[in-house]
Amino acid sequence: MEHLDRVQGKKTMWLPEPVYKALPTAYAVIGVAFILGVLYVGPNAPMGNVYLGLGMLSILAAVTVSIWRGRHKQDRAQVDTDDPQTD
């Protein structure tokens, strides 16, 4: 689902809240599964390096998304406190 964000004029995609909140955890679980896959097939297996790379990339994605969300939450809280109250 896409819609046009009227404030900034850019397209954004909306996800259901449970899916949105679960994404970093899902990325981390997928990363751990790939790294465990390396241990299962062995690091010298033909796909060992691919599994390791995908695992590290997935964990990096989980950390990055979590950091972005934390920064956005802080920025939004700061904007909310800077706005004067209008009654």
pLDDT digits over 13-48, tens only? 788 888 888 999 999 999 999 999 999 998 899 889
Instruction: Record the pTM.
Output: 0.68
What six digits make up the tokens of 29? Answer: 């679980």
Percent of the chain at pLDDT > 70 equals 70
> Do the Cβ atoms of 48 and 18 come closer than 8 Å?
no
Total domains in the fold of the chain: 1
Does some domain include residue 25?
A: yes
Give domain status of residue 21, yes or no.
Answer: yes
- The answer to whether 3 and 26 are in contact (CB under 8 A) is no
Domain span holding position 29: 16-81
Question: Looking at residues 60-83, what average pLDDT do you find?
Answer: 78
Query: Does residue 10 lie in a domain region?
Result: no
Domain assignment of residue 7, yes or no: no
Of the pLDDT bands very low, low, confident and very high (cuts 50, 70, 90), residue 62 is: very high
Question: Does residue 87 fall inside a structural domain?
Answer: no
Residue 2 lies in a domain: no
Residue 8 forms part of a structural domain = no
Residue 1 binned pLDDT confidence (cut-offs 50, 70, 90): very low
Evaluate whether residue 49 is within a structural domain.
yes
